[in-house]
Amino acid sequence: MASLVRAAFSVSKNSLISTSVRSISTTKQLNIKEIREKVEGGNIVVEAVNVPSPRTELLVRAENLGPLKTIDVSEAVKSDKAPCYMCSLGLDVKHTDVLILSQFVRSDGCMLPRRITGLCKRQQKKIGKMVSMAQKAGLMINLTPANCKKDPTKRKDYKKFNTYFDETTIFMKNVPRWTDRFKFRQSAK
């Protein structure tokens, strides 16, 4: 009942309030923008400046690298869709590869959503977990919120000591404890 009411409300609201005028343009309307703030005589001026993407020139794509030798068969062939750019590159990314992982985060260290990264679901999960591994290990300490102290040795309790992670545990349902040697050997294969 509640969903029916909500649906009826949204339909009526859209029909009444929404403007039928849509801007149509043949050229590109939206560009990558950078928000800039500056103070002009007591007023703060916030403007969005169109900038070219800083990454386009350095971009690496599998189709530009010649024949697809490096493709990771196990992850790509499962679905009949074309593999995403990360799958087709077939890189073995570890959580210590901060130069790669830092491309998928905002300046506060937050993982970008899938509609922006354009990864497949599995890669998004994998990269997201490795980003949090790198953050927990303190390897991307400059990409953290502004109130962070920017020094991993000044964290509290167990967080101040060095931690490394095992990437094979990313898609495990439950990570075995170090005492469960038999179970671990089974799941590792």
Partner 1 sequence: MSAAKRVQQWATFARTWHVFDCKWQDPYESAHVIKKYLMGLHKPIYHPMNDCGDVVVCINSKDIALRGNEWRKRAYFHHTGYPGGASWTLAWELHNKDPTMIIKKAVYRSMTGNLQRRHTMQRLFIYPEDKVPEDVMQNVTNQIRQIRLVPTRLDHIPEEEVKNFPKIMDYPEDYVLK
Residue numbers at the binding site for Zn ion (CB under 5 A): 84, 87, 120, 123
Q: What is the DSSP letter of 33?
A: E
Closest by CA position to 107, among listed 132, 133, 141, 139: 141
In the complex, what is the shortest distance from the CB of residue 107 to partner 1, in angstroms, rounded to a whole number? 6
Residues in the chain: 189
In the complex, what is the shortest distance from the CB of residue 189 to Zn ion, in angstroms, rounded to a whole number? 24
Contact 62, 71 (CB under 8 A): yes
The residue type found at 187 is S
Is residue 35 helix, strand or coil? strand
* Closer CB to partner 1, 3 or 147, in the complex: 147
User: Out of Zn ion, partner 1, none, which partner does residue 84 contact, by CB within 5 to 8 A per kind?
Assistant: Zn ion
In the complex, what is the shortest distance from the CB of residue 104 to partner 1, in angstroms, rounded to a whole number? 6
* Closer CB to Zn ion, 84 or 143, in the complex: 84
* Closer CB to partner 1, 12 or 168, in the complex: 168
DSSP H/E element including 48: strand 43-50
By CB under 8 A, name the binding residues for partner 1.
Answer: 28, 30-35, 48, 51, 53-56, 58-60, 85-86, 89, 91, 96, 98-100, 102-104, 106-108, 112, 115-118, 137-143, 150, 157-158, 161-166, 169, 175, 177-178
DSSP H/E element including 188: helix 181-188
Rg of the chain's alpha carbons, rounded to an integer?
A: 23
User: Out of Zn ion, partner 1, none, which partner does residue 108 contact, by CB within 5 to 8 A per kind?
Assistant: partner 1
